[in-house]
Amino acid sequence: MFGSPKSPISSDYVERKGKLIIAITGSPGVGKTTISRLLAERLEARHLDLSRLALEEGLMEEWNGERDTAIVDIEAVKRRVERLLSRYGRLIIEGHYAHDIAPKGSWIFVLRRAPWRLRDELEERGYDAGKVRENVEAELLDVCLSEAIEIHGSERIHEVDTTDKTPQEIVEEIYEVLRGVRPPRIGVVDWLDRPEAKQLLEWLKDVSHR
Ligand code: ADP
Ligand code: MG
């Protein structure tokens, strides 16, 4: 055989026929909606924002007055998504619990963003202190990643540190993983090991005592 070896077609999820289900997960404010929109264009896929779907279709369990948030009925969202899956060949499901909704065999991309930057983002959004703290803590402690691994195993999970990347760079990275030209990686960040973490932990202690 002559010519350069090609990766087997089975590892190219963009070219191959059949269903492609992609979950974009990560703490609120990491860039999921932005990235999912661009990726959907790139892949000619349908993009489903789970938070919007749950709100628009009233898939809520209860209203948590203390946290001032509605609790999403995960089972109802799962059932709704299952019905949509049969309709679309390529689907991107996006939200901070997308890894929980994604069926087995899906690709899972976990977006990460430095928690001190996330704090600024969420404060700018007007979240109250408790909600900012809760989400910053979740990012600091890898909550979405560990849940995703627990549910799906690590074979088709890739983590992207979005902190200093443009949306285009992030979409390109995801695209390369799906094409099989970049190996999927997890464990790419350790926020607690960064110099900025010390100050952030003090801030967290401070807000929880308020
Ligand atoms: P999520 O859906 O995860 O809550 P969004 O997509 O709404 O996050 O993004 C949160 C904010 O960050 C938005 O203002 C968006 O424009 C901005 N943003 C998203 N991706 C990036 C990026 N790679 N670099 C800088 N800002 C970004
Ligand atoms: Mg969003």
pLDDT of the chain, 210 residues: tens digit per residue: 455 555 444 589 999 888 999 999 999 999 999 999 999 999 999 999 999 999 999 998 876 666 666 789 999 999 999 999 889 999 999 999 999 999 999 999 999 999 999 999 999 999 999 999 999 999 999 999 999 999 999 999 999 999 999 999 999 999 999 999 999 999 999 999 999 999 999 999 988 777
Nearest-angstrom CA–CA distance, 85 and 94: 14
Pocket perturbation via mutation, ligand 1, pick of 24, 25, 34, 125 by most ligand atoms within 8 A of CB: 34
Residue 58 exposed, middle or buried by CB count within 10 Å (0-12, 13-18, 19+) = exposed
| Ligand 1 atom 27 nearest Cα | 31
Q: List, in order of start, the domains of the chain with CATH numbers.
A: 17-208 (3.40.50.300)
pTM of the full predicted structure?
Answer: 0.92
The finding on whether 106 has its CB within 6 A of some atom of ligand 1 is no
